[in-house]
Amino acid sequence: MTIEPGPLLANIDSPDDLKKLSQDQLVQVCQELRQFIIDNVSIYGGHFGASLGVVELTVALHYIFKTPYDQLVWDVGHQAYGHKILTGRRDVFHTNRKYKGLSGFPKRKESEFDTFGVGHSSTSISAALGMAVASQYKGETEKQHIAVIGDGSMTAGMAFEALNHAGVTNSNLLVILNDNCMSIDPNVGALKEYLTDITTSATYNKVRDEIWNILGKISKFGPNAQQIASKVESGIKATLLKQSNLFESLKFRYFGPVDGHDVLHLTSVLNDLKNIPGPKLLHCVTVKGKGYALAEKDQTKWHSPGLFDKITGEIYKTVYEKPQPPKYQDVFGHTMVELAEQNDKIMGITPAMPSGCSLNIMMKAMPDRAFDVGIAEQHAVTFSAGLATQGLVPFCNIYSSFMQRAYDQVMHDVCLQNLNVVFCLDRAGFAGADGPTHHGSYDIAYMRCLPNMIVSAPMNEEELRNLMFTASQPDMGPFTIRYPRGEGVMPEWRTPLQKIEVGKGRVIQEGEEVAILTIGHIGNYAVEVCEKLALEGLKPGHYDMRFAKPIDEAILHEIMRRYDKIITVEDGCLQGGFGSAVLEFLADNNYTAKVRRLGIPDKYFEHGSQLQLQHEAGFAPQDIEKAVREMMAQHVLVR
Ligand SMILES: Cc1ncc(C[n+]2csc(CCOP(=O)(O)OP(=O)(O)O)c2C)c(N)n1
Ligand SMILES: CC(=O)[C@@H](O)[C@H](O)COP(=O)(O)O
Ligand SMILES: [Mg+2]
């Protein structure tokens, strides 16, 4: 079902069509765009509050700037639905985040208006600066470069690295700080408080209004207006502004705060800024979820709510007759509290994903022992390392793909010093609709090669709890536990906590001819396959190896004695992953069994459901079954 756009939006196939509208029509087009986003997301899903919050900004940017010639970079990109709809993708927007459909984030290969591929936060200023410097180098002096970054994304070190560089260039860069006082959860930290102070400061607002009044008058003076305006503005700021401004201190020209929902004022401000050279920052104050009352009220819930009834606001949930297994995330969250109640050394850390990873349960129960540190993965890891030096046991929960950003900290600050930090890597394996930026494909490989690091993955809820308990024991050193997004398999999951021997796998079923070796939740697919094959009297062995490192050598020797053929299955990259660890063991021990490795091959996978992507990669249940049947049909001549 395609959604009908409003009458103005129906005629906008590109920003050129938008530019044909009169100023008066802009308010209506914003209403239509907002409604179109609500209509689509309620039926097809996706990120919600962030795009509603930048409707006016999106319209104003495409109205004033010459996109795609002028380069517009969205940070994270979860707020870019309006941008996609206005730039030729309105009629296919219902495919957003669906398998083979539009990406949920800007993507260079999807549109020339998507100047930079995003998904992970805080890259926009660096990227836009790179573009601005390239334009300068090529003599494209007219070209504009705009980075739109949220207050949450601004908390990351990378954003500050970029500001630090940009401030000493004379590049044509406009940073728009979209300040809605929210990350996914409420934004945190001193920067957030600083931004709130500026937004509410009476002195500041007075100064700002005077500057804009004077700019308005001066613009009547013709071609030299901007130089004059710029001098007047600096003068006013220098003389009137007693409090120092962070961005001005970094040599940016700071403008704002302005109301990010007043589209007419925004167009006039952007029009003025277009003509002011050098790095500048416009502080826009917006409301996440603007225009949909429930989303304005509970902004975390409506960040990405799932499907809902747009009239009543009811978020649909599947109703089951029997109790269902919990999400791994909730098992993690509740187990953290349980462990921390028993062991006063345990602390919890998340970089800006408290509700996503469920550390919010511990943050509520034990606020002095659980920290949201902002979008700051590098800091989260080294902060955890610092805690560990003092004898505490930090559980640092980071989405597998976001951990890529903190790799040096894992190696240099944790592993090299053999510190007791537990890394809970959430969203391991295919993330699903978020796509390649968010798939947790590489963690087994990138963690396995680091000395001192233990790498494990639970096959179910009980295993997750036991691995967490094991990792909390004294002197474990760096310990990784990876698990996927979503439900496990055990409705009755509050099992007693038991220590697992590090590096020890489990026999799920002994069999004949072919052994399936799995790691983590994906092992449940092998269970399914074995049950199906048993109906035909076929009985492959199945081993849940639990640890990719140290790998269970005793069980592997035993497997080599019993089987000619091995299938390894992992929801991670094949290069350097769990299957590679098995191959290394075979080679080191001169075994010559036939081995087939199933996992994520050496290419990027787009978005879709986890199962669709697993099948595309060749390790969904039917693919494992096929591999077993093919292996069983093969005759091994040499042993
Ligand atoms: C490196 C990284 N860490 C975490 C995330 C998860 N994440 C996506 S959006 C978001 C909040 C961003 O807040 P802000 O930039 O203020 O945008 P808003 O949603 O408020 O519009 C977070 C934490 C991410 N995409 N990238
Ligand atoms: C844009 C972004 O990075 C997050 O909103 C992400 O989509 C959250 O993923 P989960 O829904 O798996 O928590
Ligand atoms: Mg925000």
- Rg (Cα) of the chain, in Å, rounded? 27
Task: Indicate if 172 and 102 belong to the same structural domain.
Answer: yes
Task: Indicate if 532 and 588 belong to the same structural domain.
Answer: yes
Tell me, using a 6 A CB cutoff, whether residue 79 lines ligand 1: yes
pLDDT at 198: 87
Tell me, using a 6 A CB cutoff, whether residue 32 lines ligand 1: no
**Is residue 149's pLDDT more than 90?**
yes
Tell me, using a 6 A CB cutoff, whether residue 184 lines ligand 1: yes
Q: Which of 97, 253, 288, 427 is an active site residue?
A: 288
Q: Is residue 322 domain-resident?
A: no
pLDDT at 334: 98
Q: What percent of the chain has pLDDT over 90?
A: 90
Range of the domain at 177: 9-201+243-295
Q: Is residue 105 domain-resident?
A: yes
**Is residue 540's pLDDT more than 60?**
yes
Q: At which of 467, 482, 497 does a domain end?
A: 482
Q: Is residue 210 domain-resident?
A: no
pLDDT at 220: 52
Q: At which of 447, 482, 517 does a domain end?
A: 482
pLDDT in tens, 246-258: 999 999 999 999 9
Ligand 1 mean position, distance from CA 280 (Å):
22
Active site annotation includes 506: no
Q: Is residue 310 domain-resident?
A: no
Ligand 1 mean position, distance from CA 288 (Å):
12
> What is the position in ligand 2's atom list of the atom closest to the CA of 433?
7
pLDDT at 242: 44
Handedness of CA 50, 51, 52, 58 (dihedral sign): positive
Task: Indicate if 190 and 44 belong to the same structural domain.
Answer: yes
491 vs 325: CA distance, rounded Å: 4
> 108: domain CATH number?
3.40.50.970
Q: Is residue 218 domain-resident?
A: no
pLDDT in tens, 235-246: 555 555 545 899
The answer for residues whose C-beta is within 8 angstroms of residue 501's C-beta and 6 or more apart is none
Active site annotation includes 539: no
If one residue of 48, 76, 179, 288 were mutated to test the ligand 1 pocket, choosing by the most ligand atoms within 8 A of its CB, it would be 76
Task: Indicate if 425 and 541 belong to the same structural domain.
Answer: no
Task: Indicate if 442 and 553 belong to the same structural domain.
Answer: no
pLDDT at 219: 52
Tell me, using a 6 A CB cutoff, whether residue 153 lines ligand 1: yes
Record the pTM.
0.94
Tokens (6 digits) for 146: 């705009």
Q: Is residue 437 domain-resident?
A: yes
165 is in an annotated binding site: no
Task: Indicate if 510 and 554 belong to the same structural domain.
Answer: yes
Task: Indicate if 336 and 466 belong to the same structural domain.
Answer: yes
Contact 288, 53 (CB under 8 A): yes
Contact 517, 567 (CB under 8 A): yes
Q: At which of 448, 482, 516 does a domain end?
A: 482
Task: Indicate if 85 and 168 belong to the same structural domain.
Answer: yes
pLDDT in tens, 608-620: 999 999 999 999 9
Per the structure, the count of domains in the chain is 3
Contact 174, 147 (CB under 8 A): yes
> 602: domain CATH number?
3.40.50.920
**Is residue 625's pLDDT more than 90?**
yes
Task: Indicate if 67 and 147 belong to the same structural domain.
Answer: yes
The answer for residues whose C-beta is within 8 angstroms of residue 406's C-beta and 6 or more apart is 377, 378, 380, 381, 398
47 vs 43: CA distance, rounded Å: 12
Task: Indicate if 286 and 349 belong to the same structural domain.
Answer: no
124 is in an annotated binding site: no
**Is residue 72's pLDDT more than 90?**
yes
Q: Is residue 214 domain-resident?
A: no
In this structure, what DSSP letter does residue 182 have? Answer: B
Strands 547-549 and 565-573: unpaired
Q: Is residue 638 domain-resident?
A: no
Tell me, using a 6 A CB cutoff, whether residue 76 lines ligand 1: yes
ipTM of the complex: 0.99
Active site annotation includes 405: yes
Mean pLDDT, rounded, of the chain: 94
Average pLDDT over residues 131-138: 97
Task: Indicate if 138 and 258 belong to the same structural domain.
Answer: yes
Task: Indicate if 21 and 103 belong to the same structural domain.
Answer: yes
